[in-house]
Structure 1
Amino acid sequence: MSTQKGGKQQGNWLDLTASDGHRFRGYEARPAGAEKGQILVIQEIFGVNNHIRNVCEDFAAEGYRALAPALFDRAERDVELAYDDAGIQRGREIMGKVTIDDALKDVAAGLAHLGGDGAAAIVGYCWGGTVAWAAAQRLVVRAAIGYYGGGIANRLDEAPRAPTLLHFGEKDHAIPLTVADSVRDRHPSVMVHLYPAGHGFNCDERASYDAESAALAKQRTLGLLRAVF
């Protein structure tokens, strides 16, 4: 969900503090008019980079206040990586230094900033898709949406406690289709959709971008958000 490529970003960086005292940054975009709802946007392994900031801007353009917490600040601050081999390698290294439990502390702080328990929905991409799934299991969110979160396969024992929507690519080289099948089998209330695309199909800065799949996933995402707010 990103149509702002090359456009001017209107959001602002702000400071957040987790329950363990960790201080980190977040990028927030607000709608021009009345807020329809609040969304926590969870990054890929590339940090809160241009694409993730544009995702926040897009949600703001749809009427939602959107905040992307810099979850990598626990390991390395101001991470903003490109979608190339070097960026992938570096992103994986940093991701390995941030546990899901620590990420959820920062997610909780972001949710508190957006109004507290149940006030905000959460949307995550790649690694962020797994974090969003974990947040739906452990925290109180309005709804959870995950794009190609491969780590979900390792977290199937607990059911999400909020309406949950997952997007996967049928041609994803990193996530086998058995992950989507396992979610459907274990948690039939979760909405799972497959697209004729590869990993990262939603990001218009990646070679794997698929405009039709991204548009359909956006339509379904906004549909769930309209239903819960």
Structure 2
Amino acid sequence: AAAVSYYGGGTHTITDLAKDLHAPHLFYWGGLDEHISKDQVQQVIDAVEAAGKPYINTVISYADHGFNCDERPSYNKDAAAEAWALTLAYFKEKLGA
């Protein structure tokens, strides 16, 4: 099992559920994101770490919120391609796919 989260808005409000994660998790955040603050990202990471769950935290410094959605003005082709390549590599490593 493995899980990936792209710019999970609101995730900081459910950090009490971090203990229930059942798979290694790969998080993506946009470094230019004003929708999800760095403090909110840190709350999520702190909760996952405190729960002792395996994770990778990835901040794409030049990307905004929604960088992977080509229907948004914030879409960033380079960031989306980079994140997708990393996501596929992550799944291959974790799932052997």
Both structures adopt the same fold (TM-score exceeding 0.5): yes
The C-alpha deviation readout for 1:48-107, integer Å capped at 9, x for no partner, is: xxxxxxxxxxxxxxxxxxxxxxxxxxxxxxxxxxxxxxxxxxxxxxxxxxxxxxxxxxxx
Query: Is 2:54 the counterpart of 1:193?
Result: no
Q: Give every structure 1 segment of 4 or more consecutive aligned residues whose post-TM-superposition deviation is greater than 6 Å.
A: none
1:170 to 18, 24, 31: 31
Q: Is the 8 A contact 1:183 1:190 kept in 2?
A: no
Partner SS for 2:70 = coil
Q: Does 2:6 align with 1:150?
A: no
- Between Structure 1 and Structure 2, the one with more helix by share is 2
C-alpha contact 1:180 1:192 (8 A) present in aligned 2 = no
Whole-angstrom distance in 2 between the partners of 1:190 and 1:179:
16
Aligned partner of 2:55: which letter? V
Q: Distance in 1 between matches of 2:70 and 2:17?
A: 33
- How many equivalent residue pairs? 88
TM-score in terms of structure 2 length: 0.80
Q: Percent identity?
A: 38
What is residue 204 of structure 1 aligned with on the other side? 70
In 1, Cα distance between equivalents of 2:78 and 2:92: 21
- What TM-score do you get using the length of structure 1 for normalisation? 0.36
The CA deviation string for residues 2-45 of structure 1, in whole angstroms up to 9 with x for no partner, is xxxxxxxxxxxxxxxxxxxxxxxxxxxxxxxxxxxxxxxxxxxx
* Aligned-partner residue type, residue 146 of structure 1: S
Q: CA deviation at 1:225?
A: 0.9
Q: Could you say what secondary structure the match of 1:194 adopts? A: strand
- Structure 1 contact 145–165 (Cα < 8 Å) conserved: yes
Q: Which residue does the alignment assign to 2:87?
A: 221
**Aligned-pair RMSD on alpha carbons?**
1.4
- Structure 1 counterpart SS, 2:73: coil
The Cα of 1:173 is off from its aligned counterpart by 2.3
Larger radius of gyration: 1
User: What secondary structure is seen at the aligned counterpart in 2 of 1:150?
Assistant: coil
Unaligned runs of 5+ in 2: none
SS at match of 2:16: coil
Partner Cα distance (1:150, 1:203) in 2:
14
Q: What's the counterpart of residue 29 of structure 1?
A: none
